[in-house]
A and B are shown apart, each in its own frame.
Chain A
Amino acid sequence: MLAAVLSLGGIGLVAATALGIAAKKFAVEVDPRELEILDVLPGANCGACGYPGCSGFAKGVAEGKAAPNLCTPGGIETLEGIARILGIEAAAVEPKVAVVACQGDNAKARVKYKYLGLTDCNAAQKIADGPKNCPAGCLGLGSCEMACPFGAIEMTSENLAVINRDKCTGCEKCVAVCPRQVIKMTPRKSTTHVLCNSTDKGAKIRSYCDIGCIGCHICKKTVPEAYAVETFLAKVDYEHDEEAALAIEKCPTKCIRDFSSGYPEGSSFAPPRNDAA
């Protein structure tokens, strides 16, 4: 009994000493600021900064290799936190939010064939450039929904992707997977957008979609400073976001939407919070 206690105790003592020495001798130097920065990051590991996860970004910032304002999901709070830790001035980064520039769901846009394959927009796009007649509209098979790390995207019952402005952090993962580049990054404060991505002429758009931009210039005539029309597609000048909302009533196809008054038809999202603007 005594021998067992002594021998086990002895082994334990020797091992503890060895481990203690090893821990001192082989200690990995960690910049304490790196751990502090990691604490203020959102921890989503979304990769929007271009570094492998939040810890990779924290290391990059601590070493001075990464710009401190690359974390879009963290927004201004994270940036201020990092600035405090590093003792630098916070250069604000414009918070962005993703917007699906299309409202042509199954009820409003017509298809050229019935797609029965894999539920993946990229797979559908390969077959005769996608089932929709529109060359640029949302295919509605949910590749962006799958890619979103924040659960900010939902597919409506009529298969249109809608992005929740409160949940979107601007990480751009959805932009990368969309085969039709229909998801646009826009300033978070701007709530009025032209929700169409097709550069076809008006008559052609009318042949396949009830809610596309036909390039009629009425919005530009109503509020000249807030709109520009190029290749039959209107765009909002986000410098004049508030004035842009004045043209919504005039738009003949109703393709301009102010998100502060609600999401496209069929979405279950409640209108965005006012403080998000």
Chain B
Amino acid sequence: MDVKTFAGGLHPPDSKEYAKDKVIERCPLPDELVIPAAQHIGAPAEICVAAGDLVKKGQVIATAKGFVSVPIHASTSGEVIAVEPRLHPMGKLLPAVVIKPDGEDQWDESLQQQDPDQLDADALKKLIGQAGIVGMGGATFPAHVKLSPPEGKKIDTLILNGVECEPYLTADHRMMLEESERIIDGIKIVRKVLGLETAIIGIEINKPDAIEKLAKECAPHNIKVQPLKVQYPQGAEKQLIDACTGRQVPTGGLPMDCGVVVQNVGTCAAISDAIRLGRPLVERVATVTGPGIRNPKNLLIAVGTPLKHMLDQCDGLDGKPAKIIMGGPMMGQTQLSLDVPAIRGTSGLLIFREQDLPRKNAGPCIRCGRCISVCPIHLQPTTIAAYARLDRVDEAESYNALDCIECGCCTYICPATLPLVQSIRHIKGGIMAKRRKI
């Protein structure tokens, strides 16, 4: 087997054993769904329903605002009981639609099933945008934007991201085992939009069952499965392109600048549903896992399900939680409360207890250079972080701080436990603020 990888990165214990053998279960609907208007990168959608309205599953409740934006749909049928600011996974109070499910879970009749073979690329793109499909690996970038390269940019390679390099998470792994037909159908639709004949699926070799299954099923469709070394952040777009094709995305550029489009496997399954069944993105698979959970599971949840309800399906907490993370442990976002709803980008819910979190106080940098050797972008994290601590924006910029993908390898490896990625993130904000001023 020809196993590829990228330069840099590291291998934290992947801890996938908690949930990797758990078959995807449908999570029952909670008493109320909280659906925020901001669930994707780009302009937040504009809420177009009011308290008291009756909505059907899949009905638009917030419309897209601009090109880099997608509409938001009701995740079940029921009554809108409030449109008000609610606690968002970002930690702020942001506008959301609160729906009380009526228990019928009835789809909107106006949603139409389509045959992708009968539609041209532009029509498919439009449908994908209308269905609110975003990158489901966690970055939530609108899919139709990725599929619309500007004039003059030629796309010659489609890479599917089945890497799931974040420790603990197993949602994509289960999707590949259980929903391979939908994934392959989605890949064929994306391929048609881009006018390509082939595609590559990148999967880490800690998922041998998924590699075997997809390799067998993809062979007749001219889709290649590329086994990849278990190395974090293998699933980061730029690293995945490097590993699969050997191409480098130029600094400040996008994958389309080197002729590549990357989509997550979960996104492909959602695209298949959006076209064939006419169903917008209103549910997703999320892994509820971690040492603080009694019975870790992979759940199929409706968008807007509160985290607390997801926990209840997994027999609740084992001990007192000390850290709640939405997403993976490396790049996920720590949450303030379990009342926060799961959104389109929620790939997992992790619970750690105090004893699971080894903590030391940060010491001085001993200049060991480990952060430099693991940085997948080949930056000098310790230097940039030192400038960040002094708020020296220009120097940090000259060390290419803006190219940092915030994967957290530097902070993970630092023997002095310095908050390196946090500092770089802070100064990136400073650089962007300076650019806006000029």
Q: Nearest B residue to A143 by beta-carbon distance?
A: B391
Contact yes or no, B336 A117, CB < 8 A: no
28 cross-chain CB contacts under 8 A = A112-B336, A113-B334, A113-B336, A116-B359, A116-B419, A117-B419, A117-B422, A118-B388, A118-B389, A118-B419, A118-B422, A118-B423, A118-B426, A120-B389, A120-B426, A122-B426, A123-B422, A123-B423, A123-B426, A126-B426, A126-B429, A127-B91, A128-B90, A128-B91, A128-B92, A128-B336, A129-B91, A129-B92
Which residues of A sit under 8 angstroms from B426, Cβ to Cβ? Answer: 118, 120, 122-123, 126
Closest 7 A/B residue pairs (Cβ) = A128-B91, A123-B426, A117-B422, A118-B423, A117-B419, A118-B422, A118-B419
* CA distance in complex: A174, B336 (Å): 29
Q: How far is the CB of B189 from chain A (nearest CB, A)?
A: 38
* CA distance in complex: A128, B94 (Å): 11
What 0/1 pattern do residues 121 to 137 of A give for CB contact below 8 A with B?
Answer: 01100111100000000
* CA distance in complex: A123, B90 (Å): 15
Q: How far is the CB of B218 from chain A (nearest CB, A)?
A: 42
Give the number of residues in B that approach A within 8 Å (Cβ atoms).
13
Give the number of residues in A that approach B within 8 Å (Cβ atoms).
12
* CA distance in complex: A272, B390 (Å): 31
* CA distance in complex: A127, B91 (Å): 7
* CA distance in complex: A16, B34 (Å): 84
| Secondary structure dominating the interface of A | loop
- Apart from A113-B336, A116-B419, what 15 extra A-B contacts exist at CB < 8 Å? A117-B419, A117-B422, A118-B388, A118-B389, A118-B419, A118-B423, A118-B426, A120-B389, A120-B426, A122-B426, A123-B426, A126-B429, A128-B91, A129-B91, A129-B92
* CA distance in complex: A118, B389 (Å): 8
* CA distance in complex: A122, B92 (Å): 16
**Which residues of A does B touch, CB under 8 Å?**
112-113, 116-118, 120, 122-123, 126-129
Q: How far is the CB of A111 from chain B (nearest CB, A)?
A: 10
Which residues of A sit under 8 angstroms from B91, Cβ to Cβ? Answer: 127-129
Q: How far is the CB of B4 from chain A (nearest CB, A)?
A: 35
Of residues 356 to 409 in B, which have CB atoms within 8 Å of A's CB atoms? 359, 388-389
* CA distance in complex: A127, B333 (Å): 10
Which residues of B sit under 8 angstroms from A116, Cβ to Cβ? Answer: 359, 419
Q: How far is the CB of B371 from chain A (nearest CB, A)?
A: 15
Which residues of A sit under 8 angstroms from B334, Cβ to Cβ? Answer: 113
Q: Nearest A residue to B426 by beta-carbon distance?
A: A123
Q: How far is the CB of B385 from chain A (nearest CB, A)?
A: 8
Q: How far is the CB of B2 from chain A (nearest CB, A)?
A: 41
Which residues of B sit under 8 angstroms from A118, Cβ to Cβ? Answer: 388-389, 419, 422-423, 426
Q: How far is the CB of B157 from chain A (nearest CB, A)?
A: 36
Q: How far is the CB of B381 from chain A (nearest CB, A)?
A: 13
Which residues of B sit under 8 angstroms from A127, Cβ to Cβ? Answer: 91
* CA distance in complex: A129, B92 (Å): 7
Which residues of B sit under 8 angstroms from A128, Cβ to Cβ? Answer: 90-92, 336
Which residues of A sit under 8 angstroms from B92, Cβ to Cβ? Answer: 128-129
What 0/1 pattern do residues 421 to 433 of B give for CB contact below 8 A with A?
Answer: 0110010010000
Q: How far is the CB of A10 from chain B (nearest CB, A)?
A: 49
Q: Nearest A residue to B430 by beta-carbon distance?
A: A122
* CA distance in complex: A117, B427 (Å): 13
* CA distance in complex: A128, B359 (Å): 22
Of residues 90 to 118 in B, which have CB atoms within 8 Å of A's CB atoms? 90-92
* CA distance in complex: A120, B385 (Å): 13
B334, B388, B389, B426, most chain A CB atoms within 10 A: B426
Which residues of A sit under 8 angstroms from B422, Cβ to Cβ? Answer: 117-118, 123
Which residues of B sit under 8 angstroms from A112, Cβ to Cβ? Answer: 336
Q: How far is the CB of B326 from chain A (nearest CB, A)?
A: 12
Q: Nearest A residue to B411 by beta-carbon distance?
A: A117
Which residues of A sit under 8 angstroms from B359, Cβ to Cβ? Answer: 116
* CA distance in complex: A123, B385 (Å): 13
Q: Nearest A residue to B90 by beta-carbon distance?
A: A128
Which residues of A sit under 8 angstroms from B388, Cβ to Cβ? Answer: 118
Which residues of B sit under 8 angstroms from A113, Cβ to Cβ? Answer: 334, 336
Q: Nearest A residue to B390 by beta-carbon distance?
A: A146
A122, A126, A128, most chain B CB atoms within 10 A: A128
Which residues of B sit under 8 angstroms from A120, Cβ to Cβ? Answer: 389, 426
* CA distance in complex: A112, B93 (Å): 14
Q: How far is the CB of A148 from chain B (nearest CB, A)?
A: 14
Q: How far is the CB of B158 from chain A (nearest CB, A)?
A: 35
Q: How far is the CB of B436 from chain A (nearest CB, A)?
A: 15
* CA distance in complex: A26, B62 (Å): 71
Which residues of A sit under 8 angstroms from B389, Cβ to Cβ? Answer: 118, 120
* CA distance in complex: A215, B318 (Å): 43
* CA distance in complex: A122, B391 (Å): 11
* CA distance in complex: A117, B422 (Å): 6
Which residues of B sit under 8 angstroms from A123, Cβ to Cβ? Answer: 422-423, 426
* CA distance in complex: A120, B419 (Å): 12
* CA distance in complex: A113, B91 (Å): 10
* CA distance in complex: A126, B428 (Å): 12
Q: Nearest B residue to A126 by beta-carbon distance?
A: B429
Q: How far is the CB of B57 from chain A (nearest CB, A)?
A: 31
What 0/1 pattern do residues 330 to 356 of B give for CB contact below 8 A with A?
Answer: 000010100000000000000000000
Q: How far is the CB of B384 from chain A (nearest CB, A)?
A: 12
* CA distance in complex: A2, B389 (Å): 62
Q: How far is the CB of A266 from chain B (nearest CB, A)?
A: 21
* CA distance in complex: A272, B91 (Å): 41
Q: Nearest A residue to B89 by beta-carbon distance?
A: A128
* CA distance in complex: A160, B273 (Å): 55
Q: How far is the CB of B434 from chain A (nearest CB, A)?
A: 14
